Structures are given as C-alpha cells and as structure tokens.
Amino acid sequence: MDSNTRTDTKKSDLQRAAGAVGAVFLLVGILGFIPGITTDYSTMEFASHESDAKLLGIFEVSILHNIVHLLFGVAGLAMARTWDAARVYLIGGGAVYLVLWIYGLVIDHESAANFVPVNDADNWLHFVLGLGMIALGVLLAKRDRDRRGHHDGR
C-alpha cells in the first residue's frame, strides 16, 4: 500500500497535526455550547450579528459558528487517517480560514452580512489559524517527504 494513503497505526507528523487541529476545533465547538465558558449564553442566536454570546468572553459565537467548529473538528479527525487527506485538511482548511479572515475584515460587523458572526478577536484568530494550518501542512508534508525519500533511498 502507498505510504500516502496508509491508515495503519504509524501516523506521520502531518497526520498527527491534522488530528490535533481537528480535536481542538471539536473541543471549541463543544465549549461554545457550555454556559459560563460562553458568556451571555442566553443571547446566542442561530446565525446573527445580534448574538452577544462570546466563547471565553472574547470570541463572538452563534449556534451556526459552533456547528461549523464541530464539523471542522470531525473533518480533521477523519482526514487525519491518511497522509494525503491530512495535508488537504491543513492547507485547504487554512486557506478557508484566511478567506474567513478577509471576509471578517471587509464586512460591516453590525450588518446582516455578519451572519456567522465574527468580531475583531475572531478575525485575528482566523488569520493566525489560517497561517498556522497552512504552515503545518506545507512544512510537515515537506519533512515527511524528505524522511520518506531518505529512507526509501530516493
């Protein structure tokens, strides 16, 4: 079986990173539904800039926002099973977060366009997540390839 699609117990660093990122997103999605960890929980809307609920009192969240985190987490855990999918998750997911960062910068946070919703703290977190995920995907893929090439005599 090709090492890029292997799903055995020997995971690459890339796969472990994708799994860890997925687990963090899953945890964040769950925490977004816990009153106390999410402040002003009773104001949470399904999808609206009028949701005043904030994860850790900082990051604006809604039911939709939390569901997106949960789905992104499940995707990360599932895609960590193979090397190729883990790479796609980290690089593609990072690109999605950079697009979300740009979206959050250009919309009016008090308008209906802010349906996710996002605030300035979310925007900068999305920027850091996007860059971090892409960096993990690119650097760990290169390191894995270099190791494989060295061990395979290529």
Q: Which stretch of DSSP H or E encloses residue 147?
A: helix 120-152
Give whole-number Cα distances, 126 to 102, 120, 131, in Å. 9, 10, 9
Q: pLDDT tens-digit profile of 122-153?
A: 999 999 999 999 999 999 999 988 887 654 43
Task: Please write down the HEC assignment for all residues of 2-59.
Answer: CCCCCCCCCCCHHHHHHHHHHHHHHHHHHHCCCECCEECHHHCCCCCCCCCCEECCCE
DSSP string, 64-131: HHHHHHHHHHHHHHHHTTSHHHHHHHHHHHHHHHHHHHHHHHHS-TTSTT--S---HHHHHHHHHHHH
Domain ranges of the chain: 13-152
Query: Which residue in this structure is represented by tokens 């999918």?
Result: 85
Q: pLDDT tens-digit profile of 81-130?
A: 999 999 999 999 999 999 999 999 999 999 989 888 899 999 999 999 99
Cα–Cα distance for residue pair 26/74, rounded to 1 Å: 7
Q: pLDDT tens-digit profile of 24-81?
A: 999 999 999 999 999 999 999 998 888 889 999 999 999 999 999 999 999 999 999 9
Cα–Cα distance for residue pair 106/150, rounded to 1 Å: 46
Cα–Cα distance for residue pair 48/61, rounded to 1 Å: 9
Closest alpha carbon to 17 in 147, 136, 145, 132: 136
Cα–Cα distance for residue pair 115/109, rounded to 1 Å: 9
